């Protein structure tokens, strides 16, 4: 599968952009386990133009992350075009447009999936961004605004016609948010459309290697994108790729192995964000790395409250010593730190 000149190989597995999750330390972990392509957290076009620190910081990418895309969102065409020019200077491999975020404060302003209520504007914005950068432009979107407007087949054609190089489709409408099951039927219809020649990437409810293979086989997508299932489980990329290659499931990780992964992530977070921010942002990850461990409440509470890196190290050592080869049930519901995909 190619996105312009970016060759991702056969049946690539991509990391979805997720606000407050896909920062450089988490991307480091996902790349370590074989993510074929990753994206930054989404970046507000207006904030980028105003040189707002939080937006500008998200432009920071590392050579080892390649290929990587910078994702932008906004509802004003001129602002999105200017943001695309600024993002191009950061030298990513791809510029991605967020037409999929369903969060109320974003969608109701006409950004994210809100753009699906104004398809002509959506197409014109995309055309202008394609013209503003030499980089491949991609789009992440949904099936439609609601059940009465599942117009993704038409939208995909029109966005392709103005120059995008790939489209990622989340199998829900904006009205669904993250409820119910993702419907891949229309994703398959986009892929089967004889007018479509760009890669079609499917997204939604891929929680493990069996589902990943099923989506490839049933719907013929060129790639898959995994979001929420990576949370507390960045090794899912290795699991999926191993199964696609061998037809066999990887052996589940022991708690001791997960401690080693959490420690690597923790060290990278401190390196990238500094001690205070790195400590705070790791809390949501610690809660997910060790979900399913019995009699874990006391240790979890300490992990989620301490601001002392040495105490975290001691707690990780304690977890490895106490739980060792124990294999937790990864099917347990996500932690209360659950997030939403962009």
Q: Which residues are known catalytic residues?
A: 101
Spatial contact of 199 and 231, defined as CB atoms under 8 Å apart? no
Neighbouring C-beta atoms of residue 189, cutoff 10 Å: 17
The 10 Å CB-count burial string (b at 16+, else e) for 55-80 is beebbebeeebebbbbbbbbbbbebb
Spatial contact of 226 and 14, defined as CB atoms under 8 Å apart? yes
Spatial contact of 275 and 281, defined as CB atoms under 8 Å apart? no
C-alpha distances out from residue 250 to 225, 228, 235, 240, 244, Å? 20, 20, 10, 9, 11
3 state DSSP class of 188:
helix
CA 127 to chain centre: 24
C-alpha distances out from residue 271 to 155, 265, 277, Å? 42, 10, 10
192, 193, 196, 200: CA torsion to nearest 10: -40
Spatial contact of 135 and 88, defined as CB atoms under 8 Å apart? yes
């Amino acid at each position: 599968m190619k996105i312009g000149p970016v060759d991702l190989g056969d049946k690539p597995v991509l990391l979805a952009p997720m606000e407050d999750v896909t920062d450089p330390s988490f991307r480091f972990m996902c790349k370590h386990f074989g993510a074929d392509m990753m994206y930054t957290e989404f970046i507000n076009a207006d904030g980028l133009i105003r040189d707002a620190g939080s937006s500008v910081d998200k432009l920071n990418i590392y050579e080892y992350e390649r290929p990587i895309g910078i994702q932008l969102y906004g509802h004003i065409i001129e602002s999105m075009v200017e943001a695309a020019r600024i993002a191009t200077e950061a030298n990513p491999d791809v510029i991605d447009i967020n037409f999929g975020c369903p969060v109320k404060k974003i969608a109701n302003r006409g950004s994210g999936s809100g753009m699906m209520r104004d398809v002509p504007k959506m197409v014109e914005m995309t055309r202008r961004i394609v013209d503003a950068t030499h980089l491949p432009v991609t789009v992440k979107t949904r099936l439609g605004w609601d059940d009465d407007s599942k117009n993704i087949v038409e939208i995909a054609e029109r966005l392709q016609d103005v120059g995008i190089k790939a489209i990622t489709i989340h199998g829900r409408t904006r009205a669904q948010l993250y409820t119910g099951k993702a419907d891949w039927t229309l994703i398959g219809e986009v892929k089967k459309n004889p007018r479509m020649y760009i890669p079609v990437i499917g997204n939604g409810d891929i929680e493990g290697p069996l589902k990943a293979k099923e989506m490839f086989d049933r719907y013929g997508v060129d790639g898959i994108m995994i979001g929420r299932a990576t949370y507390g489980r960045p090794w899912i990329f290795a699991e999926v790729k191993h199964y696609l290659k061998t037809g066999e499931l990887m052996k589940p990780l022991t708690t001791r192995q997960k401690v080693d992964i959490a420690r690597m992530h923790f060290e990278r977070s401190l390196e990238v964000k500094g001690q205070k921010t790195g400590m705070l942002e790791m809390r949501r990850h610690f809660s997910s790395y060790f979900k399913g461990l019995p009699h874990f409440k006391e240790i979890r509470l300490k992990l989620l409250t301490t601001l002392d890196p040495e105490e975290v190290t001691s707690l990780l050592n304690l977890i490895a010593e106490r739980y060792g080869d124990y294999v937790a049930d990864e099917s347990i519901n996500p932690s209360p730190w659950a997030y939403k995909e962009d």
